[in-house]
Amino acid sequence: MLKHIFGRAVLLLLSLCLATNAALADCDCEEVFYDLFVEFLNLPHGDSALVSRQGAKTVLIDTGFGDGIEKIHTAISAEYYLRGKIDYLIGTHPSDESIGNMAKLIETAEVGSIYLSKAIFPTQSGQEINAAAKKKGIRVNEITGSTTIKLNDEISIRFLPSNTDNTYIKLSYKNKSFLFVRGSKEITDQEVMRLGASFKSDFLNISSYNNGSICDSFLKAVSPRFTVVSGKSTTFVYDSILARLLKICDSEIRRTDRDGWISIDTDGHVFSSFTEVLFSRGDPEDGIVTLASSVLSGGNYSHENIWDKNPKTAWVEGNKEDGIGEFLEYGFFGKEPTINSIGMINGYAKSVETYQNNNRVKTIRVSFGTGESYLFSLRDNEFQMQVFRLPKPIKDVKLLRITIVDVYKGKKYRDTCISEIAFN
């Protein structure tokens, strides 16, 4: 009997899964798990970013305010990429949107060290943060232009010197870098001339609570390939800045107010294993987060369709080629399941015509965070659930990835589709 292992995904009964498993072989290729994760939390008030990697220190940048603290607690208790502790808590700006919940978080969570921008200390919130830290014996450090935090031998955070109350945080991992910008002051040409190449980054994060204008020379200096705007401020001039980002940098842009909880994964060389960047729409409070390496734009092709119990909807990958190497990734929170088998309705099963017009999966690789990795072959022209039994039960699953290895070609389109996935 199927056991429900996460909240939103109501799993299909095995009695409906009449197909037997196809060819199975061990996979000798190495999957990349537990690399550097940067999570932009979709808070109701304010914004917050979480940086983590297995074997490295964890960092939380800002906390937002109000009931968003529950989402932060949920995130830091997610054992599949955190150890339940914030090693470094960073406050960037004296506004509630940045640090409103910081004192409360210090009281209710395990925190190692605290770093605050100079402008925070004389404020009421700054005094509350200091009092909460003192009560728990936590050191509070002032951010300076020479402050550097080492998360491990390969990952570091450097605070760039600022002549205003803006805070610039540079996260570096091997040959990839992230720039976080916080504050309310204008970023001027003079600031850019002073810091120069220090701004250059692959990835830019701008808070929607940044009230100061941003000059074109700053955008050119950063030249980000990817940009996330976090927070839900209605005063942020989205259209102007985002339009200039597209024009000047051709940056790919995501927003937490529109796209929800956003996760970026890099191994320090590329963003994710096969595609440049991962964007997630799940929330950990539901018990599971799914990541899709890509999603086809222009329709209802979200990876959330794979658990909606409707084979007439599908996840459609967004690769311009055949989707080889695209993947779905599951992170399980709290109650790690034991998985015995995996079921899949292949292709876009809306109709025979839609099914045959698009690519279907021919071979998948199923990989677990514990190191096991298996190849399965799917039959074509089959609209029922195909079930693949694992050679042994995989216990305490925290992370699972399903990767497209080979496809059956569609008559009309090169998009590869999966309609449903279920676990036993």
| Alpha-carbon distances of 243 from 148, 216, 252, 316, 320, rounded to whole Å | 33, 11, 11, 27, 24
As for how many domains the chain has, the answer is 2
310 found inside a domain: yes
282 found inside a domain: no
Task: Work out the end-to-end distance of the chain between its first and last CA atoms, rounded to an integer number of angstroms.
Answer: 8
254 found inside a domain: yes
- Can you point out the beta strands (E) in 250-336? 252-255, 262-266, 279-280, 288-292, 315-316, 327-332
The domain boundary, picked from 247, 266, 285, lies at 266
288 found inside a domain: no
129 found inside a domain: yes
The domain boundary, picked from 266, 287, 315, lies at 266
20 and 103 inside one domain:
no
Q: CB of 41 within 8 A of CB of 229? A: no
Integer-rounded Cα Rg, in Å, for the chain is 23
8 found inside a domain: no
| Alpha-carbon distances of 380 from 14, 176, 237, 359, 383, rounded to whole Å | 20, 40, 49, 10, 9
Question: Which of 144, 148, 204, 152 shows the shortest CA–CA distance to 176?
Answer: 204
**Residue 156 class from Cβ within 10 Å (0-12 exposed, 13-18 middle, 19+ buried)?**
middle
72 and 218 inside one domain:
yes
Predicted confidence at residue 246, as pLDDT, reads 78
22 and 50 inside one domain:
no
Q: CB of 39 within 8 A of CB of 50? A: yes
C-beta atoms surrounding 55 within 10 Å: 11
Domain residues for the domain of 374 are: 14-32+300-423
Fill in the DSSP letter of residue 138: -
138 and 252 inside one domain:
yes
Predicted confidence at residue 396, as pLDDT, reads 86
Q: Which residues pair with 318 in a beta bridge?
A: none
227 found inside a domain: yes
| Alpha-carbon distances of 43 from 48, 68, 117, 235, 281, rounded to whole Å | 7, 5, 22, 17, 13
Q: CB of 279 within 8 A of CB of 292? A: yes
The domain boundary, picked from 240, 266, 292, lies at 266
64 and 114 inside one domain:
yes
Which CATH number is 46's domain given? 3.60.15.10
Distance CA 124, CA 132 (A): 12
184 and 316 inside one domain:
no
112 and 215 inside one domain:
yes
404 found inside a domain: yes
Which CATH number is 362's domain given? 2.60.120.260
375 and 415 inside one domain:
yes
> What are the structure tokens assigned to 177, written together?
């870098």
322 and 231 inside one domain:
no
238 and 307 inside one domain:
no
135 and 230 inside one domain:
yes
Q: What angle do CA 81, 12, 278 make, to 5 degrees?
A: 30
208 and 309 inside one domain:
no
Predicted confidence at residue 98, as pLDDT, reads 93
pLDDT tens, residue order, the chain (424 aa): 222 223 222 222 222 222 223 333 343 333 333 368 788 888 888 889 999 876 788 999 999 998 888 888 877 775 444 556 899 999 999 999 999 999 999 999 999 999 999 999 999 999 999 999 999 999 999 999 889 999 999 999 999 988 777 899 999 998 889 999 998 788 888 888 888 889 999 999 988 877 667 888 988 999 998 888 888 766 665 566 777 887 888 888 888 887 777 777 777 766 542 223 333 444 444 456 677 888 888 888 988 888 777 888 999 999 888 999 999 888 776 667 888 888 888 999 999 999 999 999 999 999 988 788 899 999 998 877 888 888 888 888 888 899 999 999 999 999 999 998 888 7
Spacing of C-alpha 239 from chain mean position: 24
